[in-house]
Amino acid sequence: MLLFSCASFSCSKKEDNNPTPSVVPTVKIENASVVRLTTASTMHFNVTLDKTTSVPVSVDYTLQNGTATSPKDFTAASGTVSIPANQSTAEVAVQISADPSNTRQDNLTFTVQLSNPKGCTLGVSSATGTIVAEDGTNFTTDNAGPTTPNTYPGMTLVWADEFSGNSLDAATWNYEIGNGQSGWGNNELEYYTNSPKNVFVSNGNLIIEARKEAISGFNYSSARITTQNKKTFTYGRVDMRAKLPKGKGVWPALWMLGSNISTVGWPASGEIDIMEYLGHETNKSYGTLHYGPSAAAHAQKSNSYTLSSGNFYDQFHVFSIEWKLDQIKILVDNNVVLTVNKSDLGSTPYPFNAPFFFIFNVAVGGNWPGNPDNTTTFPQRMIVDYVRVFQ
C-alpha cells in the first residue's frame, strides 16, 4: 500500500461557492406609507437584518393587492432584495400611481410579501403599504334627493352660499376652534379645527368631516363654522340642502343662534335648530326652538320628522324654516314639522323677532347622542349643497 501526504505532493483547497455565514441573521420588512399625489411617486419599504454577516444574503418579494390594486394604484412587481456582506439594510421601492384629481377617499393598502430567504431566516415577512388618500381635496357624491326652487312668490333671494368655489368665503364664515366649556356644554368629545381635513369645499358642496384621531387631548376632530357678526337675518324662508352622516355618537346640526348671545347669554338669545340628527336614528331628524330667561329656566318646543323610506345619509334632503313676526315653522322636504307662535310661550320672553346667525357643525358624542361605540365608523361627513335666504 502506498501512502501519500501533502508533504509529498502539493495540495489545494477547493473553493466554496456557497459559503456558510458565521451567524444566520433574521430578515424583516417594515410597513411604509406615502401621501397620494397628483403625480407618480415612490414608496420605500425598509428591509433589515437583526445582525450583519460576513456573506451576502437575499430574499424574494412580491406585491399583493388589497384595497389598493395594480395598476390603478401601484405598479405590480416582484424580485429579489440583496443585502451585501457586513451590511444590514436594503429596500423595496414600489411605484405609486398618480391621482390627477386628488380624490378624497379612504386610505388604500397593499402588501409586500417576502419569501425564499438565502443566508438568512424570515422574521417579519410581510408589510403593509398605505397610500394616504384621506386628505384629498376633491370629493364627489351623488346629487340625488329633494331640492327647492330659486324663487318663491312674493319673496326675493337676499343671500345664498352655493359653495361653488374652492374654499369657504372668509367674509361670511368663521371657524370655531377647540372643545368649548365641557364640550360646548354638552360633554362632546370632538376638537373643532379649521383644518381642510375637517372642513373644505369641493364640487359645489361644503363638507364637514368628523375623524377619529388624537388631537389636543381629544380623540376626535371635526369642524364648526358660523356666520356670527358677518351674516345675520330676521324673518324669511331659509333652505339648506344636506346629506347627513351616520353612526352612534355622530351628531350633525344646521342651526341658528340669536346675535345678542354674547350679551344676554343662552337660551335668552334663542336657538333655532333647523336640523339636528342622531347618527343611530338614520331616518329621523329633529327641529327645535330653545328659549328661556336663563339656563336654569331653559324651555323648548320640539318635534321630529321620520322619512317614509330610506335614510338621511342615502341622499340629499332640504331643511327649512318659514319665519315671520311672532311665528316660526320648521320643515323637512317642504313638510311642516313644527310650528311655534309667540303665544305658545305664554309669559316667557319670545326671542325670535330679532337677528340670528347660522352655525353648521358635526359633533361627536355628548349628552344627547351618547358616545360612539364599536359600530361607529369614521370618517363621517355632513355634505351641504347650499344655504339660501329669501325675504
By annotation, the residues acting in catalysis are 271, 276
Q: Nearest 5°: CA angle at 160, between 158 and 165?
A: 145
Give CA–CA dist 339/183, Å, rounded. 30
* CB-based burial label for 180 (10 Å; 0-12, 13-18, 19+): middle
DSSP 55: S
User: Can you tell me whether residue 248 is helix, strand or coil?
Assistant: coil
Give CA–CA dist 276/313, Å, rounded. 13
Q: Is the dihedral of CA 333, 337, 342, 343 positive or negative?
A: positive
Strands of 71-172, DSSP E: 78-83, 89-96, 108-118, 121-122, 126-132, 157-161
Closest by Cα among 273, 274, 294 to 348: 294
Give CA–CA dist 73/26, Å, rounded. 31
DSSP 342: G
Cell numbers 327649512: residue: 320
As given in the structure block, the three cell numbers for residue 187 are 360633554
Cell numbers 320628522: residue: 305
The torsion angles phi and psi of 59, rounded to 5 degrees, stand at -155, 140
177 touches 236 (CB < 8 A): no
Query: What DSSP line would sit under 343-379, residue for residue?
Result: GGGTTS----SS-EEEEEEEEES-TTT----TT--S-
Give CA–CA dist 128/109, Å, rounded. 6
Enumerate residues 6+ apart whose C-beta is below 8 A from 179.
188, 190, 191, 192, 216, 218
Peptide bond just before 267 cis, omega within 30 deg? yes
